[in-house]
Structure 1
């Protein structure tokens, strides 16, 4: 549609370059005087005025941009050139009656319209205020308190402040854009005030933080600000004295009043080793989200000799490499934080710099620092290495100042690993530290900090060049804005918890009904086990599998023991003194694996192989051929029909000198059903193939984990061609092992498909499924079209390790117990999630009302003796506006939630009545 009008737009834009409809007019648009020459780019319309009229019109708009018609085109001209002087200290447009006025013709003003040079008069009357106050009273922010020659309008500071939050634009880029608005040719000299602008925006951020946190209303003044007082608190979290009901400490459901904490580190937010704390101190002293820096660094210095214990779980880089992370050229390698785990808000005094890596000593300090601001006794702590970090936490606490100690004996503290990070841990951690299996946590996932990093990471490129104080002040401001945006969006809480609760509750009831027949006696026992574990985590974990995992080694041991029994009873059917049937088949599988390796090695040899490489390949080939020849002679003792089969095969192929990796071994699974084969040999191969499949899957998972770890380490830590080349070579080796494990599994699965009907084995398909190439992926990989919200793990990560005979009653019972426990846990977590959401809604409304009342009180606390009438009125107006804003937010949230809460209450009431009727019938 627009393309049809494209030329119209273009012609109108070009027309504005001339005098438009004033072409034939010879008089000023205001006074009708002849020969008007001036127009304003920032005023509405394109009227042309004479010099006196345009000056009069811009007494209140001294920063607009003018143009003068020179007879051929419009050229830039400033109001200063036309003689406009800006008078401070008096009503706009009036001159100072004191002849001793001060002139400053070199004054620079930074505004949204560009960078302007203006003529400025400060008032010098006997009652005149300071130059700083005169500038501030017209909403101009002076760059210095000592004879200011530069200022920025409040408008441009506010504009950049919000733009930096939304687009993460740097001050350098923004200032250059303003400079180009003033002159985009480079022909006009514009005085550089970039350093002044960065200083003003930093001071502006700081003042805004103090103003919004009520410090301008505090009778003790700004210096009375205490640590963490300038933060935006999470209204949905529990705050005693602010949003908890009376008697909450004695309430039976204490889990509803628990605090959810999430700990994490970010290594994108580095800082180069520039400047110092003495040259560039922070404007606040731990008033926001960062810890007070001097006490933090003094403690770290005193604990510099502490040794980080190694991980006993998976090889977590955060644990094992915390002391070795490269910090060359860096004063700070990253940032550690403690967040609200359910609502993704930074907590007061819960952010600090990391000097090396994610060391316990840093994260401990942030954890204990954040908890100084709460007295809650129920804590749910999430950390991606919680399984290691929590072990000696209370022992390490003894080294901290008394003010940071916790009475952990009287608190209920649970430690978790975030859900997305959990699969990378060992199996025991996956059940002991899972949000899915513990009571009182709802559907919390613990991944809140990871979502927050996506918002803050774009500022890393600009903050890494800052001094220490400027960086902390800037990040404090970003964290405050992030918290505030989340507060105003709390009305859009996700309500999918209600239908999910009903779905999982019905699914668990259906499972219970279906199991009562076969497992009726076991259900109560399972319930007792899981409740005992929920009450005391030292009890046996019902979510863990007790059955031994199937391996090739365990099956070989089982077969060897069977051979031993046959020898003792005299029923041994061995046809060779050194080779029993089990040894024959086991050796055949080993030879098959060596053939696959030989084939892969030959394919990777390349066209231009060296003599040394070819020599090694020939030696390996000869060794394999001799082993196969020896094994085939043994094989013909147990399978005599194979001699004729091999002769007929060689006559068809016409070759008797096939490469050793191409020789067909003719294991029982490779012989057709019509050919004779001993049933015991088939049973032995089935057992070994079954174990081989499980072994291959374990190898596949292990190497996929290794691949993910190497890629992550390479991305975060390695720089330079040499280091990356070595990493790529390591990755190639891992990828080769992944491919080998996948091929081994495919061979094992094909053999099992052939053998299972011959040996009457069923039920094995649930754990050993067909392996597609799309299934060979890590836990974090997404398929095409998948998103994080719809992603599904490959079945290889969900496979249940079963015993040799999966129809064994004990193992089937264990599988069913675990599935029953998980179904119960899912139903309970969704039920808890609904209750938590209802409680959080109530807390949000109560917190906003408490906050509104607090602002009402601040408005009435106008008792500063040195405050004038204007300042008192300003304080009262700001306090009333803030109180009104919070009440409007509360009313908006309440309206958004009304229908959903009514639906939940109605359904809960109907469910309760139905249950009471059922109980009466019973």
Structure 2
């Protein structure tokens, strides 16, 4: 029994060290495997650039176009490429007529002239839902290129044309309306509907803003421009228009949730009885007095940031109930200079601080703008006293 106990104790004492050693060994072996594989990985990356002599996956003719969005059937000749990608203008294609892979926009097609290949321009239509005539319910619809349109996706900018439909039965002609475009997954950049964003793009932008609140819209626009260039396309992307369109979509989405009786800025764990609320001020959330942004009406006034008029009424009610000495402030039962609310620390600022209240789970509950007062500086934040 004594020998068995000694064996068990030695096993138990060796287990933590063995686990740590095992993790270290796995990391070391993984690094060694990557190191051994680097020459082969480099060779594969270089061989990927070789054009070779591919054949069209549809007609077995010599291929001139590669489309990785069509994998596993990625190779096309000029005629099959026009036929196949007529309704797929958002695919990123590459031509090989120069002996290397070159990204081309959807408006460029490759044609065989007998003595060689040459490029031609073509009009590409904005992908929308299937059209039907609302007058005669006819299905004999002819579609042709209409007015120019700019579509911006997560892969960048595409210069396309809106489809122009013509009913051969009743001779009616029409273009997609805004409801048709939204149903197809697009959101307008302006009321002229000249530029469109995909809902997937705006959803990705929202997720980035949630994960990284400091992520700038201009940086996101530069990212989209870079992806546009990588796809063989060109064109500028307006970050301000993207921001305005995103805010309009956010407002409409909020109104939609309200119709579905959705509750914003509530904590499921604290509802209906909240045990604790924490309030703190963020000194970096301020607005300059001459920024001009105060003239823009709020989309959702009073939803999260309390109305200034309501805050003023509440403050007046508190001031009438508490006796304060001029130049000082009441903090509990004592007068405290740092608690006075009439001082203004920065003359060039309109709102100095954003005061935010959260529950113990970190859910945002309510906020208000601070136009004056003093704040005590702590290592972690500025606190209103």
TM-score by length of 1: 0.31
Matched with 1:104 is 147
Indicate conservation of the 8 Å contact 2:351/2:369, yes or no. Answer: yes
- Structure 2: how far apart are the matches of 1:329 and 1:164? 28
Match of 1:356 among 360, 367, 372: 372
Matched with 2:306 is 291
**Are 1:86 and 2:126 counterparts?**
yes
Cα shift at 1:327: 2.6
Match of 2:251 among 202, 206, 217: 206
Cα shift at 1:289: 1.9
Q: Secondary structure at the match of 1:208?
A: helix
**Are 1:24 and 2:53 counterparts?**
yes
**Are 1:114 and 2:114 counterparts?**
no
Q: Secondary structure at the match of 1:72?
A: coil
Cα shift at 1:130: 5.5
Matched with 1:65 is 92
Cα shift at 1:102: 6.7
- Structure 1: how far apart are the matches of 2:165 and 2:236? 25
Would the alpha carbon gap of residues 41 and 297 (structure 1) be closer, same or farther in structure 2, given more than 3 Å must change?
farther
Q: Secondary structure at the match of 1:181?
A: helix
Indicate conservation of the 8 Å contact 1:85/1:120, yes or no. Answer: yes
* Structure 1 residues 796-832: Cα deviation after superposition (integer angstroms, max 9, x where no partner): xxxxxxxxxxxxxxxxxxxxxxxxxxxxxxxxxxxxx
- Structure 2: how far apart are the matches of 1:188 and 1:205? 29
> Counterparts in 2 of 1:399-410, with a 5 A limit?
none
Matched with 1:479 is none
Larger Rg: 1
Indicate conservation of the 8 Å contact 2:225/2:236, yes or no. Answer: no
Match of 2:47 among 15, 19, 22: 15
* Structure 1 residues 78-115: Cα deviation after superposition (integer angstroms, max 9, x where no partner): 112333323645259xx98367x67123x211111122
Matched with 1:345 is 363
> Counterparts in 2 of 1:176-325, with a 5 A limit?
176-183=222-229, 189-211=234-256, 214-217=257-260, 230-239=263-272, 259-273=275-289, 274-278=291-295, 280-286=296-302, 288-292=303-307, 295-296=310-311, 309-310=328-329, 319-320=339-340, 322-325=341-344
Q: Secondary structure at the match of 2:222?
A: helix
Q: Secondary structure at the match of 2:248?
A: helix
Indicate conservation of the 8 Å contact 2:126/2:161, yes or no. Answer: yes
Cα shift at 1:139: 0.1
Cα shift at 1:149: 0.9
* Structure 1 residues 651-690: Cα deviation after superposition (integer angstroms, max 9, x where no partner): xxxxxxxxxxxxxxxxxxxxxxxxxxxxxxxxxxxxxxxx
> Counterparts in 2 of 1:131-530, with a 5 A limit?
131-145=177-191, 147-168=192-213, 169-183=215-229, 189-211=234-256, 214-217=257-260, 230-239=263-272, 259-273=275-289, 274-278=291-295, 280-286=296-302, 288-292=303-307, 295-296=310-311, 309-310=328-329, 319-320=339-340, 322-340=341-359, 342-347=360-365, 350-357=366-373
* Structure 1 residues 753-810: Cα deviation after superposition (integer angstroms, max 9, x where no partner): xxxxxxxxxxxxxxxxxxxxxxxxxxxxxxxxxxxxxxxxxxxxxxxxxxxxxxxxxx
- Structure 2: how far apart are the matches of 1:285 and 1:343? 25
Larger proportion of strand: 2
- Structure 2: how far apart are the matches of 1:153 and 1:291? 33
* Structure 1 residues 567-625: Cα deviation after superposition (integer angstroms, max 9, x where no partner): xxxxxxxxxxxxxxxxxxxxxxxxxxxxxxxxxxxxxxxxxxxxxxxxxxxxxxxxxxx
**Are 1:52 and 2:79 counterparts?**
yes
Would the alpha carbon gap of residues 312 and 337 (structure 1) be closer, same or farther in structure 2, given more than 3 Å must change?
closer
Indicate conservation of the 8 Å contact 1:140/1:153, yes or no. Answer: yes
Cα shift at 1:60: 5.2
- Structure 1: how far apart are the matches of 2:255 and 2:349? 31
Matched with 2:5 is none
Matched with 2:36 is 4
Cα shift at 1:179: 0.7
Cα shift at 1:143: 1.0
Cα shift at 1:117: 1.4
Q: Secondary structure at the match of 1:265?
A: strand
- Structure 1: how far apart are the matches of 2:160 and 2:317? 54
Would the alpha carbon gap of residues 297 and 181 (structure 1) be closer, same or farther in structure 2, given more than 3 Å must change?
farther
Indicate conservation of the 8 Å contact 1:89/1:134, yes or no. Answer: yes
Cα shift at 1:176: 0.8
TM-score by length of 2: 0.69
Would the alpha carbon gap of residues 716 and 89 (structure 1) be closer, same or farther in structure 2, given more than 3 Å must change?
closer
Q: Secondary structure at the match of 1:183?
A: helix
* Structure 1 residues 45-80: Cα deviation after superposition (integer angstroms, max 9, x where no partner): 583212332344435543222211132322221112
Larger proportion of helix: 1
Matched with 1:251 is none
Cα shift at 1:152: 0.7
Indicate conservation of the 8 Å contact 2:224/2:237, yes or no. Answer: no
The gaps in structure 1 that reach 5 residues or longer are 219-228, 240-256, 360-708, 718-922
Q: Secondary structure at the match of 1:58?
A: helix
Would the alpha carbon gap of residues 304 and 135 (structure 1) be closer, same or farther in structure 2, given more than 3 Å must change?
farther
Cα shift at 1:312: 6.2
Would the alpha carbon gap of residues 202 and 79 (structure 1) be closer, same or farther in structure 2, given more than 3 Å must change?
same
Matched with 2:11 is none
Greater RCO structure (CA 8 Å; 6+ sep): 1
The gaps in structure 2 that reach 5 residues or longer are 1-32, 110-121, 133-138
- Structure 2: how far apart are the matches of 1:164 and 1:235? 23
- Structure 2: how far apart are the matches of 1:188 and 1:164? 27
> Counterparts in 2 of 1:807-846, with a 5 A limit?
none
Count of residue correspondences: 321
> Counterparts in 2 of 1:711-722, with a 5 A limit?
none
- Structure 1: how far apart are the matches of 2:337 and 2:85? 63
- Structure 2: how far apart are the matches of 1:292 and 1:43? 53
Indicate conservation of the 8 Å contact 2:265/2:304, yes or no. Answer: no
Matched with 1:33 is 61
- Structure 2: how far apart are the matches of 1:343 and 1:13? 48
